[in-house]
Structures are given as structure tokens and as C-alpha cells.
Amino acid sequence: METDVLIIGAGPAGLAAAFEAGSRGLDVVMIDESSRLGGQLSQQTQMVSMLPSQYPPMKGFELAKLLINQLHDFPVKILLNHPFIGLYQDGSIGVSDGKNVFPISAKKVIVTTGAAERAIPFLKWTMPGVMTIGAAQTLVNRDFVVPGKKAVIFGSSDFALDVAIQLKQVGVEIEGIIEESTKLTAQNMDKINLIKQASIPIYLNSFIKEVGGNGQVEEVYVQQDQEVKTFHADLVCVDGGRKPITEVFYQLDCSFSYQEKLGGWIPQYNERLQSSQEGVYLGGNAAGISFHGSILLTGIIAGISVCEDLGVLEADEANSLRDSLFKEIKIIESKQDDHLWLERMTHIENFLHPKLKNQFIS
């Protein structure tokens, strides 16, 4: 299979990039290992915050629908259930349809693989009933499965609070929100108030020490100050934060640097969202963990850079578009967390000085 642009990952950033390339007449192939478009957006029933200015406030799955619908009129070929396998020596990308592995040769590749949740280890955390907060949301909103009757939530980010409310709405009793630090890490006051209104107890300065049960979680032991409190629960949702998914970049021999705020090891990119491999671009959470707004904007920038390099967009126009998109990222990121934007800039400045490169030659 041959195409102008291959997009790996059909989440928000991939869809936004596909629209940029597709609407300017480029042939686009988009692959995703899952069976539906929209990535994590499809199970987000909460309002998504900090969208770019052209979008009205909406819920995650509504945004997914909008991004998918705007592709209808353009030559975008979508291959679902098609995982990325590796790189062929001739530069084409190996993709599997479940039966075969076949190559797709593309003039440009945009990688928007998103982020994965981090685990938090404690005694017996591998017992059935312990899952990440995102897994609990997926079960409820995508699979329509209630993951438990009584839940303990470990972590207090905005996302954890969102899911706590969603679990409560489907009849899961929330026994408590456990937070290691001295205050909630969530910043959105509306969400914090919702938790208080729902009278969900919050335990600060606490952490889960151990879970117990016969084959599945039945009790949760929480250390608070000097005492250990026992909760009777069958579900533990841990919120360990997220990190960019980097395997595809590693396979494509991209270079990496470490940026704490952006989620740890992330592929190098310049202000065009182009990686150290000339034909490989990136966007979304894979380019650094951030808010929905930046996820979309970085995807759009990657799409624009590809259009410019394939000659369907003038350099002047591409530059001015990129400038205004970066300004918007700056507004979104510095409003929430100054360090996030500064680290993104540092990362871009470090483009030529990666920490990890040529990893296959060792």
C-alpha cells in the first residue's frame, strides 16, 4: 500500500492531523490498533477542558464525533484493528491486519500514539479488582460494565475526580479518595465541589499499604499517620499519572530526551513537530503529556508541517499558521502550569542535543 501520509494512532491528535492533510488533498492512511476511532476520547463523558478557541466547550465523546465527522469528505483511508509492527529496511512501515503483516510506504509518517497510565505498586496490587482509573472509566463508559460495588480511589487529579463522579453515577459507592500529599492535586474547583457535594470522603496524607481478599480485592488497608484504616471495597482505582507511548518512535530510531513535566522520556521534535527522523512527525500526548487543547494543536501543527513538506501548503502560510497555533498552546499550557510550557520550549530548544539516539547501534 502506498500513500502520501501515514498516521499511526487515530485519537484526537491523529484525527486533527488527518484533517489538515486530507483537506488539502493529500492521500492519508490512518491506522489504529483499537476497533474504533477517537482514542480515549470515546469514553470521556466529562467536559473536556482547555480546548482551542475555535471549539465550544463539549464532552470528550462529542469532540471525537466532531473530529471524525470532519474527515468524511476527504480521502482518508482508515484501518482499524491494525497495529504497528515495525519498520522495513526500505523505510516502509509494517502493519498487521491480524492475519498478515504488510508494508505501507508513505512519504511522511505522523505518529500520534498518545499516552499510557502509570501503575502504583503496593502489596498485592496485582490482585483482581485493582485497576487504573482510566481502565475503570473504559469499563463503565465504553463496555458498559460496572467494575465493582464499593471503590477506593488512590490519587486525586482532575481526571480521578471525574471518574469518581462517573462511577458514583452508575451506582458504585466511593468509600474514599486517598491522596498521598497534603492537598488534592486536582485544580478544577467545580470538580472538587462536586466531590464534596456527593459527600465522598477524602483522606489526605494517606496511602494504600496493602489490599486483601480471597482471589479478589475485599479489603483495602490505608496508612494514615500512624494508624492503618481498613476499607471494605472490591475495587481500587489507581491514578499514577500518564506517560507518552514511545515504542513506535523507538522502532523508528527517533532520538529522545527526558522532560519530567512532559511525562518523562519523549521523542525529540522541533517547532515543526518533526522528529529527528526527517519523514517522521508527531503530535498529541506522545509529544508530551498535556491538555486536550495542546493535543489537538500539536496534531494540527504536525499536519501542517507535512502539508508544507509535500508542497500543498506555502511556507509562509505554514509558518504563520504554526506561529498562531503555538501561541494558543502557550496560552493553554501556561494558564494551567507555567512549567509545562517552559519544559516544552526547553525540549524544542534541545532538539539537536538528544539524550538518547541511535539506540539500535550499541
Partner 1 sequence: MDKDTIICRCEELSFEEIEEVICLGAESFDDIKRITRCGMGPCQAKICADLVSKMIHEQTGKIYEEIPMPRMRMPVSPISIETLSTNSQHFSTVKSVLDEVELEDGKVR
- Which residues would be at the binding site for partner 1 (CB under 8 A)? 33, 83-90, 92, 94, 96, 98-103, 116, 118-119, 121-123, 125-126, 209-210, 243, 246-248, 250-251, 256-258, 260, 264-265, 355-356, 359-360
CA distance 94 to 87: 6
DSSP 33-75: SSSSTTGGGGG--SEEPS--TTSPSEEHHHHHHHHHHTTTTS-
Indicate the residue among 182 and 362 with the shorter CB distance to partner 1: 362
At 314, the amino acid letter reads E
At its nearest, how many Å lie between partner 1 and the CB of residue 86? 3
**Rounded CA separation 72/206 (Å):** 49
> Which residue's CB is nearer to partner 1, number 14 or number 22?
14
Least gap, CB of 234 to partner 1 (angstroms) = 20
Quote the least distance from Cβ 87 to partner 1, whole Å: 5
Name the percent of the chain in helix, strand, coil, to the closest 5: 35, 25, 40
Rounded distance between C-alpha atoms, residue 143 and residue 209, angstroms: 30
Give me the least distance between CB of 217 and partner 1, in Å please.
Answer: 15
- The CB-of-252 to partner 1 minimum distance in angstroms stands at 9
With respect to partner 1, which residue has the nearer C-beta, 85 or 165? 85
All three cell numbers of 35, joined, read: 476497533
Picking from 188, 198, 202, 122, the residue whose alpha carbon sits closest to that of residue 167 is 198
CA–CA separation, 259 vs 25, rounded Å? 36
Q: SS3 for 183?
A: coil
Nearer to partner 1, 255 or 294 (CB): 255
| Smallest separation (angstroms) from partner 1 to the CB of 188 | 26
* Shorter beta-carbon distance to partner 1: residue 272 or 347: 347
Closer to partner 1 by Cβ: residue 75 or 240 = 240
